[in-house]
Structure 1
Amino acid sequence: MATKHEQILNFIESIPIGDKLSVRLIAKSLNVSEGTAYRAIKEAENTGLVTTIQRVGTIRIEAKSEQNIENLTFEEILKIIDGELLGGKNGLTKTLNKFIIGAMTEEAMLRYITDESLMIIGNRESAQRLSLENGAAVLITGGFRADQEIIDLSNELSLPVMTTSYDTFTVGSMINRAMTDQLIKKEIMMIESVYTRLEHTQFLKTDDTVYDYRIANQESQHTRYPVVGYNDRLVGIVTAKDIIGEEDSVLIKKVMTKDPAFTTNHMSVASVAHTMIWDGLEVMPVVSDEMKLLGVVSRQDIMKAMQSQQRQPQTGETIADQINQSIKEKNTEEYLFNVSPQMTNGLGTISFGVLSEIVTESAYLKLSKQNKRNLVVEQVQLHYLNLIQLGNTLTIKPTVFDRSRRSARLDIEVYSENGLAAKAIVVCQLLQKK
């Protein structure tokens, strides 16, 4: 029999897309407490069933498909511009392909308008209607509002009409920045896209026995299994070491390790890789925010993810990308870096954060050439000895002074035009297949 929590989630899924819902509505419809209804709504929001829109409320939405992660939806645009929705709420989950600034004649607009584009325009009713009729949502700047005829048309076509108090240039800059940020986020691989789902893996229950573990071990490639209790909540993990010398009839809950390391599906692959390297873990359970077991992620999954990520083209530039592109190899032992205006603070000297990133990138370059393996920077001890000014050319000299199978330590010296400017000790963990 489904729990109250699961019943509420099923009820939310049955609500038509675009309808509003509330804690009070769910509590009354299913005869549950408002606290139970609130927790279920939060999980539904995390899984993409609903969203909360300012000044509108909680709306049932269509779950986003993974291939559209690089695009912004109109509801996200509404939040970015701190706007107000005037009509077309059923189209809020549609993705934005491009935006157009309507500072042109209506005849000229037609060549730029495409489906699911966004027309940024002022108080021009005929241009607003033209945009909607050709498949574009409308954003009205300057605090103007739309006529009721335009609102009715937007509801009919399920294309949002929004208004904001910002001017057109500010809105365009905000959306452009958001689109770039979204492209960068696309490159950050999350556990959700690499872990093995529950239906495709094995786990044990607290009332299973050591014999059940041995049977599972014959059919699996690893020796660590999550252990779940009531309602599939993670309560422990059992390994080969735990069952050594135990009788087949002994219950798993008697031998399992309690409070195991775990991850959620919205954590980054890099952060989980760091934990698995540091603790020497072969497998980690993946859980929901309510500690319900969703699946497992293995060291092999992490390796494949990190290797495929390195082969993907970059679509959005971060500060780290700009620094990485600016570091040039002088010879096999040294690297060069020129300090540009974006890398400085208000005093015209290099930002301490940028200097830390230069040191980190040089460690990556040095070790990746020697080891041909993935690595994670564990610790950086950086000492800024002399000021590095705008326009200076830096010479970075990384030296590996200690290396083992799982870690490496580097001494990195940064020389500016006036001599030694900074010195750092960098500790890295090396990721390898087990």
Structure 2
Amino acid sequence: MDQGNTAFLLIMAALVLLMTPGLAFFYGGLVKAKSVISMMMMSFGAIGLIGVLWVLYGYAIAFPGAEGLVAPWSIDWSAIGLTSLLETPEGAAYPPLAFVAFQATFAIITVALISGAIADRAKFGAWMIFAAIWATIVYFPVASWVFNFGLADDGSFAYGGWTTFGMQEAFGVGVIDFAGGTAVHINAGAAALALALVLGKRVGFSKGAHVPHNPPFVLLGAGLLWFGWFGFNAGSELAADGTAALAWVNTLAAPAAALLAWLLVEKIKDGKPTSVGAASGAVAGLVAITPACASLTPGWAIVLGLIAGAVCALAIDLKFKFGFDDSLDVVGIHLVGGLIGTLYLGFFANNTGLIYSGDPTQLMVQAIAAFTVLAYSFVLAFIIGTIIQKTMGFRVTNEDEIAGVDTVVHGEDAYKLESV
């Protein structure tokens, strides 16, 4: 066992876990003061719920080994409860449980991301039920499609999900998604759009009606997310090597460029660059570089960041044009940013991208994977959300929304003002 790589992987897992509390601050600062506890609790609820489900059966669904190629929803029954993974096989680079831990943090953050679309108006219990069902029938299988693969001694695919091994067999190239542009961001963004449609608009929804109550929280959250994202992307190499170093540098370059692009768009559109815009631009760049971090030169990573920052800054206004209330712009940042990063690889991926190979095949397989995951997640999230809304109710009443979700749902206030 390589103790260096084991330590690397465990540290990267801890960094990625920190992203979910970071997301809680990022989302918490964006909502109304009387909804901040509700918003942050949805992230912390995801940590508790998905952490347990991952150990019980999530890993067994997402990583069924070679069986995942034939039956993407198959289960490695020996991995239920992880008891079969307690021993480290001879010659393994790291203990199996280190990989289990790393992938658990991906499942947690993906579910938590969705919650931003339903801020200010969702019941906590309904959210937890949705999260459990969606993770089971959407995230765990999609993770198997993207992340479940094994390599032969010569580096070729020995088995894998349909986006990797299947595409390789059919078209000669597999989908490039190093750290989760499809499985995490497109997946979560599509589910967020579905839930925004199911729950409907907040009371008084219009442009400028809902402003962030605490921009310093937003900046703190974005900083924690960016810090943790180095584990997200570099850690996906599963080894401390040159590829991890490339992923790290690109995880610096793309968000930095996206931050600048977002601020420039804000300056042109609204006359003033904002702190919330800087934080949102950085996150948009992080989303876009996630699938691409190990397959681009740093120069092309900067170009990707500039595109993602500018396009996402414009995309967040689509909710006003089309009339859906994506409260915290999960669609405009994660769905759009994930699509940009995934499709960008079709043009600029090292060796196989269109500008290098003259062959559009990589672009084709990237598009197939991206839009398949989008459709799968959207449809099932819409069905799950609708059933919950029609039975137990997903949304609080208008009266409770106006009174404040924190007090009504959790019996707490984020801020206590006392006279002296």
Larger strand proportion of the pair: 1
Q: Same fold (TM over 0.5)?
A: no
Q: What TM-score, normalized to structure 2?
A: 0.26
The structure having more radius of gyration, on CA atoms, is 1
Q: What TM-score, normalized to structure 1?
A: 0.25
Report 1 or 2 for greater relative contact order, CA contacts < 8 Å, sequence distance ≥ 6. Answer: 2
